[in-house]
Amino acid sequence: MTRRPETLTSLLCAYHRDLGWLFGALGQIDHPEREERLVGKLVLEMLRHFMIEERYLHPIVTQAFRDGVTRVREERVERDHAEEAMRMLERVDLSDQRAEELLHALGQGFERHVEFQEEELFPALERTLSPNQLAALARAAAQTREPGASHSHPMAPGGKSDLLTPREGLVDRIHQALWQQWTAR
């Protein structure tokens, strides 16, 4: 039996599962340092996921559908809400009740994102684009997701802070590091 090539939609669904696992793991950690690192990993992966969608999914959606611009605009609004929640999360202690509320809101927004994409958007894309087109996009997106941004960032105070430490500026540092990675390719 021939293995079906991975498509952009199946790849993004796999990323959704990975992010869902991270959200689930957060509720099971009782060590503050591990929780902090896991939140940093979650933020990194969510931003990476959003950037992949921006680079590979959104252009296709705007071209393939009559209402594509509206669909992408709505996705960007949701992404902006998520990024704002992540920025607010940077400013609170993870043991604070507000952090739990922010993570919960972030998780609920992510669930809505997954539901819309997997139940509406992806099936429509699969009816519109060929498997070869979706496979080519998957290969490009998979290369983009390669790890490499979880090192010390030279812009961090003293150059010693880990990029994944969830403190003020984390979202912006990750954005900068990911965009630098992409533009260097």
Closest CA to 131 of 15, 11, 14, 5: 5
In a domain, 154, yes or no: no
Report CA-CA distances (Å) from 57 to 35, 71, 140, 167. 31, 11, 11, 30
| pLDDT at residue 77 in the model | 94
Residue 109 falls inside a structural domain: yes
Q: Is residue 25 part of a domain?
A: yes
The boundaries of the domain holding residue 65 are: 8-138+160-184
Distance CA 60, CA 83 (A): 23
The number of folded domains in the chain is 1
- In three state form, how does the secondary structure of the chain look? CCCCCCCHHHHHHHHHHHHHHHHHHHCCCCCHHHHHHHHHHHHHHHHHHHHHHHHHHHHHHHHHCCCHHHHHHHHHHHHHHHHHHHHHHHCCCCCCHHHHHHHHHHHHHHHHHHHHHHHHHHHHHHHHCCHHHHHHHHHHHHHHCCCCCCCECCCCHHHCCECCCCCCCHHHHHHHHHHHHHHCC
Which pLDDT belongs to residue 155?
36
pLDDT at 5: 59
**Cβ contact 58:21 at 8 Å:** no
Query: Does any domain span residue 104?
Result: yes
- Whole-number Å distance between alpha carbons of 4 and 166: 39
- Please report the pLDDT score of residue 91 as a whole number: 86
Q: Does a structural domain hold residue 155?
A: no
Which pLDDT does position 164 carry in this prediction? 47
pLDDT at site 28: 85
Q: Which pLDDT does position 108 carry in this prediction?
A: 95
pLDDT at 123: 96
Does 61 fall in a domain?
yes
2 falls within a domain: no
Instruction: Tell which residue, 11, 22, 167, has the closest CA to residue 107.
Output: 22
Residue 153, pLDDT score:
38
Whether 143 is covered by a domain: the verdict is: no
Residue pLDDT tens, the chain, 185 long? 445 559 999 999 999 999 999 999 987 877 888 888 899 899 989 999 999 999 999 999 999 999 999 999 999 999 999 999 999 988 888 888 998 899 999 999 999 999 999 999 999 999 999 999 999 999 988 887 655 434 333 333 344 334 444 455 666 666 566 656 555 65
The pLDDT of residue 90 = 85
